[in-house]
Amino acid sequence: MRRYLLGRLLLAVPLLLALATLLFMLVELAPGDPADLLISPGMTNEVREQVRTNLGLDEPAPVRYLRWIAAAATGDLGFSHSRGVSVRVALAQSLPNTLLLTGVSLVLAFALGVGVGIVQAVRQSSWIDSVLNLFVLTFYSLPSFWLGVILILVFSYGAQSVWEWPIHFPASGATSVGYDLMGPGERIVDRVRHLILPVGTLVLVMGAGVARYARSALLEVIREDYVRAARARGLGRARVLFRHALPNALLPLITVFGLYLPVLFSGAVFVETVFAWPGMGRLMVDAVASRDFPLVLGGSLVFAVLVVVGNLVADLLYAWADPRVRYG
């Protein structure tokens, strides 16, 4: 198992290198010159060239590529001209917020999805199954940015200004304006209140997908002979479901977990933009808009590392859940 893990980690190195190269080429091919956004129209060509030289853009692309790769290997991702800080600092400010948003969403989406899938599989073809299916398919089909806007409209704007409900949620940001002046208890409440709508958006969209997989995985497993055999031994319904069927149905869901990580991060980009969440997603969108190439590259690289690590975690989970993988 340790050997296997080490092998996987070593394999991640050329993978990330290839990815970095591809990203660099993509950014290089993108239209627009960063310098154009930093100077005003009235400035002379000389000033423009000076700005380009300062940004290191006067050198040919292959040279810049090698410089960037060499620096990135040592952990130096360059300077973000749009933020005025190093890329590392910019990422370090945003990454915790994104990890909080996606981590909470991932856990809740799987909990909700598996729960709904279990109910649907146990009550297959009943009205409960049909009603849940309607909801699942609806949320599965909705784009997360649209759902986010609707949630803001209803639970933030509508709840506060139109219907005047006792409860409403903030539409943007990770904390309120007066966060620094709050006590520790108030801070937690404020954080949670800000999390609810963006997390709700991601959980509804992703949970619907998980529910579809969970339902079909469980239905497949319920037909297996060991489930029938467990019933023939007189075990109760709950025991057969939770101790015999579910542990086997988890195996395909772990694969889904690995496949969903990129979906989660790209979904987070949209959701962070809609909810003005100060995370990686919004950082990236801003970076692209301002042609801040070092920041675009650094952010993409961080996303790539997250996906690779997430898949490694999925592999570990698989070994944990299936003794046939563990003992080969």
Partner 1 sequence: MSSLLRVADLTVSFPDRHGRAPVVQGVQLSLEAGEILALVGESGSGKTVTALSLVRLLPPGATVAPESVVEIGGIRVLGPGATPARHLRGGTVGVVFQEGSGALNPVRRIGEQLREVVVRHRGVAGAEAGREVVRLLEEVGLPEPSRVASSFPHQLSGGMRQRVLIALALAGDPRLLVADEPTSALDARVQLRILALIRELTRTRGLGTLLITHDLGVVAHTSDRVAVMYAGRVLEEGRADQLLRSPGHPYTRGLLAALPSGRQRKAPLASMPGRMPPPGLRGAGCVFRDRCSQERPRCREEPDWVSLGETGGRVRCWLALEAEG
Residues at the interface with partner 1 (CB under 8 A): 224-226, 228-236, 239, 243-244, 247-248, 251, 321-324, 327
Q: How far is the CB of 172 from partner 1 (least distance, A)?
A: 45
For residues 23 and 293, the answer to whether their CB atoms sit within 8 Å is: no
Q: How far is the CB of 174 from partner 1 (least distance, A)?
A: 40
The Cα 286–Cα 280 span in angstroms is 10
Closest CB to partner 1 among residues 14, 323: 323
Q: How far is the CB of 297 from partner 1 (least distance, A)?
A: 43
Closest CB to partner 1 among residues 145, 318: 318
- The two structure tokens encoding residue 112: 């909700």
The Cα 214–Cα 206 span in angstroms is 12
Q: How far is the CB of 251 from partner 1 (least distance, A)?
A: 8
Closest CB to partner 1 among residues 87, 249: 249
DSSP string, 241-281: IIIIIHHHHHHHHHHHHHHHHHHHHHHHHHHHHHTT--SHH
Q: How far is the CB of 247 from partner 1 (least distance, A)?
A: 5
Q: How far is the CB of 115 from partner 1 (least distance, A)?
A: 21
Residue 106: count of CB within 10 angstroms of its CB: 20
Closest CB to partner 1 among residues 97, 248: 248
- In angstroms, what CA-CA distances link 127 with 53, 166, 244? 68, 33, 26
Closest CB to partner 1 among residues 166, 234: 234
End-to-end Cα spacing for the chain: 10
How does 252-281 read in b/e, with b if 16+ C-beta sit within 10 Å? bbbebbbebbeebbebbbbbbbbbebbbbb
Closest CB to partner 1 among residues 135, 226: 226
